[in-house]
Amino acid sequence: MTNLKNDRFLRALMREPVDATPVWMMRQAGRYLPEYRATRARAGSFMQLCSNPDLACEVTLQPLERFPLDAAILFSDILTIPDAMGLGLYFSEGEGPRFERPVRDEAAVRALGNPDPEGELRYVMDAVRTIRRELDGRVPLIGFSGSPWTLATYMIEGGSTKTFSRCKAMLYDRPDLMHELLGKIADSVIAYLNAQVVAGAQALMVFDTWGGVLAPRDYEQFSLAYMERIVHGLVREHEDRRVPVILFSKGGGQWAECIARSGCDGIGLDWTVDIGEIRERTQDSVALQGNLDPAILYASPERIREEVARVLESYGYGSGHVFNLGHGITPDVDPDHAGAMIEAVHELSRAYHQ
């Protein structure tokens, strides 16, 4: 880990000693920052921001200028892969992301290609290279992807959904077709994440935003199994360094033991579980990332500090904890409150690392 000035994040993921608990925030480059909103306005649309490596780099670095964060995360979207597969991603006012050509039958599944990370997705790799260069070893860069199940929900429904009616109908009525689709997506995710590592990503995270809407057995078969396939397909060493991978299923804390057995290095936890209890249940076999309720950032800096203290105390002594929110920071949060959280983590965590 020679040229890294701050390797707390990577060390914590490998459960090696650290001086303080590392901290970063999901969506740390996001709308709660006025400087982000300014760049976003300049870019035009959200996808223009994602697909311009210089602008993506600019917003990735913005939170690091403000706060002493211990990691940067590539600014991108989880829907880049389905878009590159030819589904036609667009954003409609008030409805969020939509696909022009959703995947709803055998023919559509069979027609899906495996996008070339240095072809259709080159703009993402260019962003990784640019960010890595501009970071200049300050902190590690996290690359990421959506999980196969989560991507499949958008690909089948054609956008966001509350009922998951189409993707669950496929899961229950045509499990064979669902498995074929998930297998294709998993292969694309493996190629995509490995290319991010070659381009400069030093850790990886798989976002399984919708794993928690599945029944336990379905979660294992249709979400976790494909994340496990990804973990085993990833290049885990690059330039003589371990590339740790974090799996995050929102609402999946109850399945932490199963997730820990996937071969991942860390598990992301939302705020609905007690991180100390999960540590006990997973017996220190993996690192844990989380798990402050993002809504605590609406409270006063004093209360934020108290709640940070509580999460740190729950995790307890020793390395293996990456402090984070349990979900992305929300757009209407005061940036100073995020700062208060980060400061509290660094200050209060030292006692647990002596």
User: Which residues participate in catalysis according to the annotation?
Assistant: 27, 31, 40, 77, 154
| Contact flag: residue 111 with its own copies (CB under 8 A) | no
User: By CB under 8 A, is residue 300 in contact with its own copies?
Assistant: yes
Neighbours of 26 (CB within 10 A): 20
Is residue 216 part of the contact set for its own copies (CB under 8 A)? yes
299 in contact with its own copies (CB under 8 A): yes
Its sign, for the CA torsion 337, 34, 141, 145, is positive
When the beta carbons of 102 and 115 are compared against its own copies, the nearer one is 102
Residue 22 half-sphere exposure toward CB, CA atoms < 13 A:
26
Quick check: 214 binds its own copies (CB under 8 A)?
yes
Q: Does 307 bind its own copies (CB under 8 A)?
A: yes
Q: CB 238 → its own copies: shortest distance, Å?
A: 36
Size of the site for its own copies (CB under 8 A): 33
Contact segment (CB under 8 A) with its own copies among 11-19, 40-48, 82-90, 299-307 equals: 299-307
Distance CA 180, CA 47 (A): 28
Strand-pair partners of 287: 266
Site for its own copies, residues 250 to 279, rule: CB under 8 A = 251, 253-254, 271-274
Nearer to its own copies, 131 or 296 (CB): 296
Task: Please return the burial class of 174, using the count of CB atoms within 10 Å of its CB with bins 0-12, 13-18 and 19+.
Answer: middle
Query: What is the pattern of x (binds its own copies, CB under 8 A) and - over residues 148-177?
Result: ---------------xxxx-xx--xx----
Of residues 84 and 214, the one with the C-beta less far from its own copies: 214
Q: Which positions touch its own copies (CB under 8 A)?
A: 163-166, 168-169, 172-173, 212-219, 251, 253-254, 271-274, 293, 295-296, 298-300, 303, 307, 330, 332
